[in-house]
Amino acid sequence: MIIKNFKSLATSKTRIDTLKIINAGLESVMTKPAMHRNITFIKNILTIKGISWDLSDVQRVLIVGAGKASGDMAQAIEEILGKRITQGIVIDTQPKKLKRIKVVQGTHPLPSQTNIQATQEIITLLNTATHEDLVICLMSGGGSALLDDPIIPLSQLIDINKNLLHRGATIQEINVVRKHLSCIKGGQLAQLANPAKLISLIISDVITNDLQVIASGPTVLDHSTIHDARHIQKKYLLPDLPFIETPKHLLDNTTNLILLSNIPAADAMKKKARALGYIPKILTTQLHGEASNIGRDIAQKINKKRALIAVGESTVTVKGTGKGGRNQELALAAAMYIKKGTIASCSSDGIDFIVEAAGGIVDEMTKERAQKKRINLKHYLSNNDSYHALKKLNGLIITGKTGTNVCDFVVALS
């Protein structure tokens, strides 16, 4: 069981079943099993998702990457390729000791000098690559903040990221700005690896699986322009910025492959719900919008013996001074409208703004318990303080960092 506090949360049948369905989604997108399912290395032939490369004439195999799943991806690729790896460096949010690949613990959701220094190490390594080498890039959600070599001061970059996050900018908008302020995003990593062959293995946390958006697309031809970045700058009242253009020619040295996305998670949760006796319905695999609105809408859709499933990523427009992430806010909003049943919203990476909570779970009794404890749900919600409200109401889902990152899972049962 990936959900660590399952027993304390499992106070009713619908709560138990909701948590079991969420857990099935989490188990379906664990990083290392997915790597081993999709990658083999036999007699110098590397095969990934049915595509093969003969490494007989490859001099060096270099590993680079970043993201919340990159450490586990690096561990798996070491287990598969072993001594064939020459060296490597990836940037994750948690430390990991490996034999051939250096894992740097960086910061997220905001960049830091540690991230920048590690990125510069990656750039230095890529600058040594020749046509006789193979570079394998391991990218996952979180890579936008972890992998960066900005053209502006770090303090200014942090302010810009904070402004965009707090004003409810979409991940697509944030990444367009990031790409045009960076020396490695938006296809620039692939350009740095040239003339070496580059295989980019990607775990998608983007609802559309748009390769340009995942981790700001460091190995993907970028279609956004300086003009797009300036439009977003004006929309969110950002200061004047010295945007640079990203590569616009074909990156023919690169093969990009998505290893994991939100689809397997939705399918796994649907299968689990059916096994538990519910009629499952996937509402969407591209969930988006304001978290509180989604919580309200799903709470109003609950039907008896139905399992409503949605995967994607909501947003929160921060107006208060409280603490909590989008999944907690979605759950707390649902608590105000749910009449019967249970709703849970959980991040696949185990980090819903803060490390302690992966998300939230509420039921038809949550509102009544809040009233007895004199907890004004509307006040907590308006102050974006879902964490403290749910903590008092036994509504925080705890998983710890999972080592994967595809999207958020929402389940509603009655």
CATH 3.40.1480.10 positions along the chain are 6-29+263-413
Let me know: does 266 contact 19? Beta carbons within 8 Å. Answer: no
Nearest to 20 by CA among 29, 10, 30: 10
Task: Give the per-residue SS3 of the chain.
Answer: CCCCCHHHHCCCHHHHHHHHHHHHHHHHCCHHHHHHHHEEEECCEEEECCEEEECCCCCCEEEEEECCCHHHHHHHHHHHHHHHCCEEEEEECCCCCCCCEEEEECCCCCCCHHHHHHHHHHHHHHCCCCCCCEEEEEEECCHHHHCCCECCCHHHHHHHHHHHHHCCCCHHHHHHHHHCCECCCCCHHHHHHCCCEEEEEEECCCCCCCCCCHHHCCCCCCCCCHHHHHHHHHHCCCCCCCCCCCCCCCCCCEEEEEEECHHHHHHHHHHHHHHCCCEEEEEEEEECCEHHHHHHHHHCCCCCCEEEEEEECCECCCCCCCCCCHHHHHHHHHHCCCCCCEEEEEECCCCECECCCCEEEEECCHHHHHHHCCCCHHHHHHCCCHHHHHHHCCCEECCCCCCCCCCEEEEEEC
Please state, in angstroms and rounded to a whole number, the distance separating the CA atoms of residues 315 and 203: 20
HSE-CB of 12 using CA atoms within 13 angstroms: 17
> What's the gap between Cα 344 and its chain centre?
18
Tokens found for residue 298: 């799903």
Query: Class of 6-29+263-413 per CATH?
Result: alpha beta
Q: What is the pLDDT of residues 126-161, one digit of tens each?
A: 999 999 999 999 999 999 999 999 999 999 999 998
Please state, in angstroms and rounded to a whole number, the distance separating the CA atoms of residues 92 and 71: 6
Please state, in angstroms and rounded to a whole number, the distance separating the CA atoms of residues 155 and 150: 11
Q: What is the pLDDT of residues 336-376, one digit of tens each?
A: 999 999 999 999 999 997 768 999 999 999 999 999 999 99
Please state, in angstroms and rounded to a whole number, the distance separating the CA atoms of residues 109 and 286: 22
CATH 3.40.50.10180 positions along the chain are 43-260
Please tell me the predicted confidence (pLDDT) of residue 251: 77
Q: 0.85 exceeded by the pTM?
A: yes
Contacts of 323 (CB under 8 A, 6+ apart): 353, 354, 384, 385, 386, 387, 388
Which CATH number does 43-260 carry?
A: 3.40.50.10180
pLDDT tens digits in sequence order for the chain, 414 residues long: 999 999 999 999 999 999 999 999 999 999 999 999 999 999 999 999 999 999 999 999 999 999 999 999 999 999 999 999 999 999 999 999 999 999 999 998 889 999 999 999 999 999 999 999 999 999 999 999 999 999 999 999 999 988 998 888 887 898 899 999 999 999 999 999 999 999 999 999 988 899 998 999 999 999 999 999 999 999 999 999 999 999 988 778 999 999 999 999 999 999 999 999 999 999 999 999 999 999 999 999 998 899 999 999 998 988 999 999 999 999 999 999 999 999 999 999 999 977 689 999 999 999 999 999 999 999 999 999 999 999 999 999 999 999 999 999 999 999
Please tell me the predicted confidence (pLDDT) of residue 169: 87
Pairing verdict, β 45-48 and 51-54: antiparallel
- The sign of the torsion formed by the CA atoms of 376, 9, 357, 412 equals negative
Let me know: does 84 contact 106? Beta carbons within 8 Å. Answer: no
314: left (phi > 0), else alpha (psi -120 to 50), else beta?
A: beta
Please state, in angstroms and rounded to a whole number, the distance separating the CA atoms of residues 383 and 207: 28
Amino acid in the structure at residue 208: T
Respond yes or no on whether the N-terminal peptide bond of residue 195 is cis (omega within 30° of 0).
yes
Please tell me the predicted confidence (pLDDT) of residue 143: 94
Let me know: does 146 contact 93? Beta carbons within 8 Å. Answer: yes
